[in-house]
Structure 1
């Protein structure tokens, strides 16, 4: 009888601990609204999505998207500088509240963070010097392809073992683009937008998209278990896709409109 009573007490105590932990767990949206400030992880070294202007102020499509969100929600905005490899750890370790940084939605990432609905799109390609005769994957065999470490392009190309690709990894998109501009790399795996930026920075080395890897939805990343934040983000994205503001931002920096299906 005593043993049974002790077992019941242990079970009750365990239940209380679980309930207490759940109840005491802060809600991200409530915390952000209470603080009147949102910390957004954004890479400021991947033009035209994130960069700094001549006055060293953040600009770009992701920057203006983050600024619009903070304005609509009546919050102070703090940018948390990040790279492709550190975006997800930033929200997992609470260094940032959300991610707005060309974060493509993939099954692997969905295992460790939650995503909002898509606010933009990204065409992932292998781009090379315009003068190179590259039309499909077999033409890339033996050629060194520069890639930013930890990106979807890095993961995708690494898994293409049968294609015998030579991959050169860089810590971020800025150093990868520098390698292309300076002649250290004749091919890069990144977004079509970034590929086109190489020639802008060095007209003597015009790059163009050669092989499409895939098309990705870009979404806001949030640590797992924050349904209220995801719901509010989804409502905000839906509103600003419908009113055209997110399309205006994208077109301003990327030179093309968002996919029609996304805008409808």
Structure 2
């Protein structure tokens, strides 16, 4: 990956084009890790909605062990978002070029850890499931916080509910704008670029999920290594720029 392109994607001064392209890339990673993680431990980890629902259901059923599992999942996602925010704010305070790269470097390291340790822990189911769930939830919280901060809360990459909702709203506006406005009625304006961003996020997440599912099925945990290396290569350029300074 050319160094200048990595700087463009992770520059402290954000542009709509950089946000869009980085969002698509990270949505692909999130989709791949979510689908691959499910095949590993039969649990999705890219959002906390299901964990909160499971917490309530298992509490009502008296399954306290599963209540603890769901609580830990939510807390791991929260911890990832907290760590991401702290890294970004500290880098911003120091005026580092790697303001948004540091959390992604950490994510790349965690993906690699998942790939290397998962195959070893797969022999011990009692360790594999809690390790994988905590690691992936933390990673998803980390990534989601990065994209939320750099895009001004416009882009999300780890869960698609909001993306599909917003896409539906924009398509509805586009369809409605075709009608002739009534006298005195303000015309409905279509936000074409936003539709492109949202559709791209949805397609990228889906493509990542398909790649992750088939990759994990074919080669197991090794499928995560290329994801980790690409993400690390992307984030390493601004970090190396800081080191040179």
TM-score range, shorter chain: under 0.3
Which of 1 and 2 has greater Rg? 1
Of structures 1 and 2, the one scoring higher in RCO (CA 8 A, sep 6+) is 2
Task: Say which structure is richer in helix.
Answer: 2
Task: Say which structure is richer in strand.
Answer: 1
